[in-house]
């Protein structure tokens, strides 16, 4: 998403549908107004706190200290800003589009781009913080929704051309929200609701203002599923949908270390070495110029990751009784007779445990890592208050994959999060301390 200056920043094109003049609405306009009302309920629920809405009402702005790093003004909209930042970094790595990719991955039959229609007298500074007299005199949320226009395009190339001519749409006060509305309106409210079938809460938390996992997944993958594992899983008799394919951008979360969820291989091993990182309350972005970090897992790496999932304490062994589950999860032979034979061999002293080294030597002798042993990582956090000196800049760390995992020995949230993908990783960051996940 480049931000060029343009003398035609207020130009419009496409099929413009102004949500006004109710006496003369066409059937198509009525339908679009209903879709917009449904989008509002889907995002915000029945009641929206003014403070929550205000925190989301910002445009896309770059840091004066890091020209490709977006600034997040307050807590909340990271569910939209962090995915956009991730795609921006993908641009740096692969020189492809950003906002247009986010909309394009929705696989829409048409693209509905939301635009905020300003009053003729409505001023707006470059920071997008000024408000009009009308906005001050009424509910800001209702004011925002009354002044939305929707422009419809048949092809994503038309969307790209429109945003290029009208880049202020994304830079001005409601830019983040307008992109969010454009994604939902393009995909279709019914399609989003169907993917969220097992959930009824709004996509934006009504009290705290953070985005749900369904919203994060929608921005990252084009599908608003509520889970981060691969494919579907049956839980309590319910078939719950996760991530269907290897994604352009990955996702890691400290919540996996806390055993609240399981992030699948598609998210852990994206096509590009860019990952959105989740703490309990905030999203940041990790990236690297080391392309080998995005290589698919080797069979040995996959098996080691599965083994370690049965070893949450990082002890480098599992109970012997868990061997059948590990073999099954790793798509290895798991017939009872064979499992019992392997259990006696791998636990020859009958200690009740099976070592990781013995497991790997038996099933994947000579297995090599796809990732290099050492590499450089960079981290982005869009909140000024979370960066040293209040400057939004990329932090740099030098990473090493050690022989033995450090999972049991660290209380560093950043390292804990990264170890859900690289169990043996250690990182030395610039300025002597890890970046903040919050």
Strands 283-287 and 374-380: antiparallel
For 426, which DSSP code?
E
For 130, which DSSP code?
-
pLDDT at 276: 98
Pairwise CA distance, residues 66 & 360, whole Å: 44
CA angle 375, 299, 331 (to 5 degrees): 145
- Exposure b/e, 364-403, CB count within 10 A at least 16 = b: beeeebebeeebebbbbbbbeebbeeeebbbbebebebee
Statement: residue 15 has pLDDT above 70: no
Statement: residue 5 has pLDDT above 70: no
In Å, what is the CA distance from 130 to each residue of 39, 57, 78, 124, 174?
26, 11, 22, 5, 11
Average pLDDT of span 389-401? 96
Contact 277, 392 (CB under 8 A): no
Statement: residue 242 has pLDDT above 80: yes
Question: pLDDT tens-digit profile of 186-237?
Answer: 999 999 999 987 667 899 998 899 999 999 999 999 999 999 999 888 888 8
For 236, which DSSP code?
T
Statement: residue 136 has pLDDT above 70: no
Tell me the backbone φ, ψ of residue 9, rounded to 5 degrees: -65, -20
Pairwise CA distance, residues 381 & 436, whole Å: 8
Question: pLDDT tens-digit profile of 247-288?
Answer: 999 999 999 988 889 898 899 999 999 999 999 999 999 999
Statement: residue 87 has pLDDT above 90: yes
Q: Which residue has the higher pLDDT, 12 or 29?
A: 29
Question: pLDDT tens-digit profile of 335-359?
Answer: 999 999 999 999 999 999 999 999 9
Contacts of 428 (CB under 8 A, 6+ apart): 397, 398
Pairwise CA distance, residues 245 & 229, whole Å: 11
pLDDT at 199: 67
Beta bridge partners of 397: 377, 429
How many helices (H) and strands (E) are present in the chain, helices listed first? 18, 15
pLDDT at 403: 74
pLDDT at 22: 43
Judge residue 245's burial from the number of C-beta atoms within 10 Å of its C-beta, 0-12 exposed, 13-18 middle, 19 or more buried: exposed
Average pLDDT of span 151-171? 93
> Could you tell me the pLDDT band of residue 306, with boundaries at 50, 70 and 90?
confident
User: HSE (CB half, 13 Å, CA atoms) of 98?
Assistant: 24
Q: Which residue has the higher pLDDT, 60 or 100?
A: 60
- Size of the chain, expressed as the number of residues it contains: 438
pLDDT at 371: 78
Closest CA to 25 of 36, 41, 38, 14: 36
Q: At what angle do helices 78-94 and 213-221 cross, to 10 degrees?
A: 20
Q: Which residue has the higher pLDDT, 219 or 101?
A: 219
Handedness of CA 55, 60, 63, 68 (dihedral sign): positive
Indicate the pTM of the whole model. 0.81
pLDDT at 405: 60
pLDDT at 324: 95
Contacts of 366 (CB under 8 A, 6+ apart): none
Which segments of 45-174 does DSSP mark as H helices, in order? 50-56, 78-94, 99-104, 133-136, 140-146, 156-165, 168-171
2: three-class secondary structure by DSSP: coil
367: three-class secondary structure by DSSP: coil
Q: Which residue has the higher pLDDT, 200 or 426?
A: 426
Average pLDDT, the chain: 86
Pairwise CA distance, residues 49 & 206, whole Å: 7
Q: Which residues participate in catalysis according to the annotation?
A: 78, 282
> Could you tell me the pLDDT band of residue 53, with boundaries at 50, 70 and 90?
very high
pLDDT at 417: 96
């Amino acid at each position: 998403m480049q931000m060029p200056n343009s003398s035609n920043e207020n130009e419009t094109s496409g099929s413009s549908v102004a949500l006004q003049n109710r006496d003369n609405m066409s059937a198509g306009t009525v339908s679009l107004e209903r879709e917009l009302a449904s989008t509002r309920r889907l995002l915000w629920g029945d009641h929206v706190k003014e403070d929550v809405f205000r925190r989301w009402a910002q445009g896309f702005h770059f840091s004066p200290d890091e020209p490709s790093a977006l600034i997040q003004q307050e807590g909340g909209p990271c569910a939209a800003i962090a995915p956009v930042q991730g795609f921006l970094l993908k641009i740096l790595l692969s020189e492809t589009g950003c906002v247009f990719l986010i909309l394009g991955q929705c696989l829409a039959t048409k693209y509905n781009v939301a635009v905020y229609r300003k009053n003729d007298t409505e001023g707006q500074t470059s920071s997008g913080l000024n408000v009009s007299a009308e906005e001050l005199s009424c509910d800001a949320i209702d004011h925002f929704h009354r002044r939305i226009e929707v422009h419809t395009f048949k092809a994503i190339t038309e969307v790209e051309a429109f945003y290029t001519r009208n880049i202020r749409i994304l830079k001005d006060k409601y830019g983040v929200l307008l992109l969010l509305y454009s994604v939902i309106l393009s995909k279709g409210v019914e399609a989003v609701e169907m993917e969220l079938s097992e959930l009824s809460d709004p996509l934006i938390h009504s009290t705290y203002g953070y985005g749900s996992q369904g919203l994060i997944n929608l921005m990252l993958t084009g599908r608003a599923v509520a889970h981060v594992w691969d494919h579907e899983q049956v839980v309590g008799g319910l078939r719950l949908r996760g991530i269907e394919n290897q994604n352009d951008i990955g996702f890691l979360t400290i919540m996996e270390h806390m055993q609240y969820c399981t992030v699948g291989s598609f998210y852990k091993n994206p096509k590009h070495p860019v990952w959105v990182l989740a703490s309990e309350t905030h999203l940041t972005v990790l990236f690297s110029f080391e392309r080998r970090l995005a290589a698919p897992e080797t069979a040995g790496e996959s098996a080691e990751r599965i083994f370690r999932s049965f070893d949450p304490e990082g002890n480098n062994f599992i109970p012997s009784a868990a061997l059948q589950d590990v073999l099954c999860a790793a798509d290895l032979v798991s017939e009872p007779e064979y499992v019992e034979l392997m259990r006696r061999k791998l636990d020859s002293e009958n200690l009740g445990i099976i070592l990781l080294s013995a497991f790997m030597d038996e099933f994947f002798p000579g297995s090599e890592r796809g990732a290099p042993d050492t590499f450089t990582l960079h981290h982005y956090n869009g909140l000024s208050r979370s960066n040293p000196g209040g400057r939004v800049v990329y932090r740099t760390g030098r990473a090493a994959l050690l022989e033995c995992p450090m999972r049991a020995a660290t209380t560093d949230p950043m390292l804990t999060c990264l170890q859900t993908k690289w169990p043996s990783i250690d990182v030395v960051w610039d300025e002597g301390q890890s970046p903040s996940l919050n």
